[in-house]
Chains A and B, each alone.
Chain A
Amino acid sequence: MTARIGVITFPGTLDDVDAARAVRRADAEAVPLWHGDADLRGVDAVVVPGGFSYGDYLRAGAIARFAPVMGLVIEAAGKGMPVLGICNGFQILCEAGLLPGALVRNSGLHFVCRDQWLRVENTSSAWTTRYEPGAEILVPLKSGEGGYMADRSTLAELEGEGRVVMRYVGGNPNGSLNDIAGVTDARGRVVGLMPHPEHAIDGLTGPTDDGLGMFLSVLDTILGAAPGTGATATEVPA
């Protein structure tokens, strides 16, 4: 059985090609999904890639969140389908209410484009089981609105439940609260991450292959799932 992982393309998406390449590198089938699609084509998981969907008009992710395909993603995520939002995808998942909080303009105002060290804080989410707890990974970061914000109680809940998936180390690049680079939902199935693991899957085209672990992790999640139940060995109870 080969896992089928959907990669969504909105008008203005940039990183769908690399996301699909990362999926294939993990030996899964990459299934292209279009923003206007009315069907998820039987995929087992979905990547919402980075870019500038709808030109970032209104707010980053605010319009993409209402695309027809996102209605299906929200419904499937509710049933436990793993979803990964990277960069603009993270912004879209926050706007869609699949993840708490919001991303705002970098505190330094500049667009930040550099290789960034991250510490993996949660190794039980659907997308991070392949990492050792506390592992430090190096992946590209490229964003202008990457500052993670949430109200005090949401932040306390995220920290208390271990739902901060990755944290910036070696300096906070964008003013994110608690150095948060990525978070997960209550069940550990939906993950949003500002830096780009899909750009770090081999030493030839990226700084490292540290990002590949996220795609291998979700493959384990999907292939380890008991048929028909949607439950997995790595699932975090709600």
Chain B
Amino acid sequence: MARVVVDVMPKPEILDPQGQAVANALPRLGFEGIASVRQGKHFELEVDDSVDDATLAKIAETFLANPVIEDWVIRRVEP
């Protein structure tokens, strides 16, 4: 078994109102110096060793992310 991490982020050109709301809240909470925030999703998958990279890419592209509005990155993480 291996741990695979898939990070899904809104594309840079897509407005991210949730990230903006977080960014706007930070100065109100007394945290200065944060120029911007983008909010995405982080998936952790426990996968069998037989699952290859192409399959993982298909899972990310067809299901975990919507490629119209989101980019995704897959990482295999050492156990």
**Contact, CB under 8 Å: A104 / B15:** yes
Within residues 129 to 181 of chain A, which ones have a CB less than 8 A from any CB in chain B? 147, 149-151, 175
Beyond A58-B63, A101-B68, A102-B68, 7 additional pairs, beta carbon < 8 A: A66-B63, A95-B66, A102-B66, A102-B69, A104-B15, A105-B18, A175-B17
- Interface size counted on chain B using CB atoms at 8 A: 11
Q: Is the interface of B mostly helix, strand, loop or mixed?
A: mixed
Q: Can you list 9 pairs linking A and B with CB atoms under 8 Å apart?
A: A62-B63, A94-B68, A102-B69, A104-B15, A107-B15, A107-B17, A109-B21, A151-B68, A175-B17
Is the CB of B14 closer than 8 A to any CB of chain A? yes
**Contact, CB under 8 Å: A62 / B21:** no
CA distance A175 to B10 in the complex (A): 16
**Contact, CB under 8 Å: B63 / A104:** no
Which among A58, A101, A108 is the interface contact of B64 at CB below 8 angstroms? A58
**Contact, CB under 8 Å: A108 / B17:** yes
Is the CB of A106 closer than 8 A to any CB of chain B? yes
Q: Mark A72-116, 1 if CB is under 8 A from B, else 0.
A: 000000000000000000000011000011101111110000000
> Residues of A with Cβ closer than 8 Å to B?
58-59, 62, 66, 94-95, 100-102, 104-109, 147, 149-151, 175
**Contact, CB under 8 Å: A106 / B68:** no
**Contact, CB under 8 Å: A149 / B14:** yes
**Contact, CB under 8 Å: B66 / A59:** yes
Given A59-B66, A101-B68: A106 touches B14 (CB 8 Å cut-off): no
Given A101-B68, A109-B21: A147 touches B15 (CB 8 Å cut-off): yes
A residues less than 8 Å from B64 (CB atoms): 58
A-B interface, 6 closest residue pairs, ranked by CB to CB distance from nearest: A102-B68, A102-B69, A109-B17, A107-B17, A105-B17, A102-B66
A residues less than 8 Å from B68 (CB atoms): 94, 100-102, 149-151
CA distance A62 to B68 in the complex (A): 13
**Contact, CB under 8 Å: B69 / A149:** yes
Nearest chain B CB to A154 CB, angstrom units:
8
Nearest chain B CB to A177 CB, angstrom units:
10
Nearest chain A CB to B30 CB, angstrom units:
22
A residues less than 8 Å from B15 (CB atoms): 104, 107, 147, 149, 175
